[in-house]
Amino acid sequence: MAKFTFNWKQTASFVLKLCITSAALYFVFQKIDFELFKQTLSTVNLGFFALAFLFFNVSKIISAYRLLVMYKLAGVELDGKANLKFYYLGMFYNMFLPGSIGGDAFKVYLLKQQQKEASTKKLISAALLDRISGVSFLFVMGGVFLLLSTFYLEIPNYKWYILAATLLVIPSYYVFVKWVFPTFISGFMVTGYYSFFVQLGQVVCAWFILMSLHIDTSYWDYLTLFMASSVFAIIPITIGGAGARELVFIFGANYLHINQPAAVAFAILFFCASALSSLIGLFFIVGIEKQLTTS
């Protein structure tokens, strides 16, 4: 059975992330009307939240197939079902075992155990480009939503700069892949196609969370903050992005004139959808470890 030991560095990393997460959430809840926040959460429409959970997982399944394309370009033969299990296992490790081996590193480890001839360098490159591809389209959609939000009214003179930056993201990513990771350039179009629908799935998830909170105004403002918070949540300094998203919403609400308790409730519900989805990976641990012991 595959075992991962915790050393003092991993434990310290977990404790630090826990402290940062706790401090961020404490700060956020000091800044809002907590009673109104609780009241907002108490009226959540569970039907809409279930749809948000569904589309969150749709986006993750598409993301898993994007990563599968990357793996194949790296010379790894893996069927879609096994890859999906690995993907959810990675989500589980990232969310619930942040002081241990990271989710991406865990997937690389699993693949190396099953396919000894696979290049570790190419596997790591595939995982890195998978992330960058997703972030690229996140920036594109975020730029579009920013131009449609009320925040744009505060910075009208920057319209063309924002538009130009948005339009240059994908071409810049293409040049980056072609020069730095030429092995993966043949998959640029298909992975880009997947990345668009990954982010679209996340946006639909966010929209259903807004519906679950009975928010029927300022859609573009919430979605702009959602995209911005997604960028900060990627930075591995908190547990599962908790605290980071809420901070973005609490500060962004000052500029976008949206309800702060509702904005924080939105961030909390998105974290819940992510955490519940990550738990799916728990069901695959035993089966994967059996495969490793027989490989």
Element housing 85 (H / E): helix 80-96
Separation between Cα atoms, residue 49 and residue 229, nearest integer Å? 19
Per-residue DSSP letter, 93: H
Mean pLDDT of 131-156: 87
- Report domain extents, the chain: 12-294
Separation between Cα atoms, residue 269 and residue 73, nearest integer Å? 36
Collapse the DSSP code of 289 into the 3-class scheme (helix H, G, I; strand E, B; otherwise coil) and give the result.
helix
Q: Mind listing the pLDDT tens digit for each residue in 150-162?
A: 887 777 778 888 8
Q: Mind listing the pLDDT tens digit for each residue in 39-88?
A: 888 899 999 999 999 999 999 999 999 999 999 998 888 888 888 988 99
If phi > 0 it is left, if psi is from -120 to 50 it is alpha, else beta; for residue 79 that is beta
Q: What pLDDT is recorded for position 273?
A: 94
**Does 294 score more than 60 pLDDT?**
no
- Angle among Cα 187, 191, 196 to the nearest 5 degrees reads 155
Collapse the DSSP code of 74 into the 3-class scheme (helix H, G, I; strand E, B; otherwise coil) and give the result.
coil
